[in-house]
Amino acid sequence: MTAPVPVKLLDPRAKLPAYGSADAAGADLYALTDGPVSIAPGESVKLRTGLAVAIPQGYVGLVFARSGLACKGGLAPANKVGVIDADYRGELMVFLHNHGSQTQVVEDGDRIAQLAIVPYLTAQFAPVEELDGTERGQGGFGSTGRR
């Protein structure tokens, strides 16, 4: 399913988000820099995209790591998953954190994260005396086994 999402280019050098393949769930976001940006181990750096978007009401923009960048270079969003609410109209920024042991360099135009547009439910939280039972019950982390 496709749907139009309005995007404002805040800088003429900005690149529109782009899908890497026909079935990709996330569209690549590109760095907008004035030169190489070094990110030391353990450091987080705010990177511009030069874009503002109008996420449709009832949807949320989720900013995820790019698997290759995260697994090979140790660079991933500092907040793990960024949330872009439908009423936000500011510039999309990506805070990349270097989880690796070597300084990494981001160049202008590099793919730095991916954006997925996802529907969400606004919950109406209702207090109750008891919750319905399930097979798992109160079993926490790892309670369903390894396989």
Q: Which residues contact 77 (CB under 8 A, 6 or more apart)?
A: 63, 64, 65, 94, 95, 96, 97, 113
Map out the domains of the chain as residue ranges: 7-119
* Predicted TM-score of the model (pTM): 0.89
pLDDT digits (tens, 9 = 90+) for 59-78: 999 999 998 888 888 999 99
Residue with tokens 């790019």: 66
Instruction: Return the pLDDT at 46.
Output: 98
Question: The domain at 7-119 falls in which architecture?
Answer: Distorted Sandwich (2.70)
Distance of alpha carbon 3 from alpha carbon 146, whole angstroms: 39
φ, ψ dihedrals at 118, nearest 5°: -130, 135
Is residue 142 pLDDT above 80, yes or no?
no
Q: What are the structure tokens assigned to 37, written together?
A: 């940006």
Residue 144, pLDDT above cutoff 90: no
Give kind and range of the element (H or E) at residue 72.
helix 67-73
DSSP 8-state code for residue 29: E
What pLDDT digit, counting tens, does each position of 84-93 carry? 999 999 999 9
Closest to 106 (Cα-Cα) out of 66, 79, 53? 66
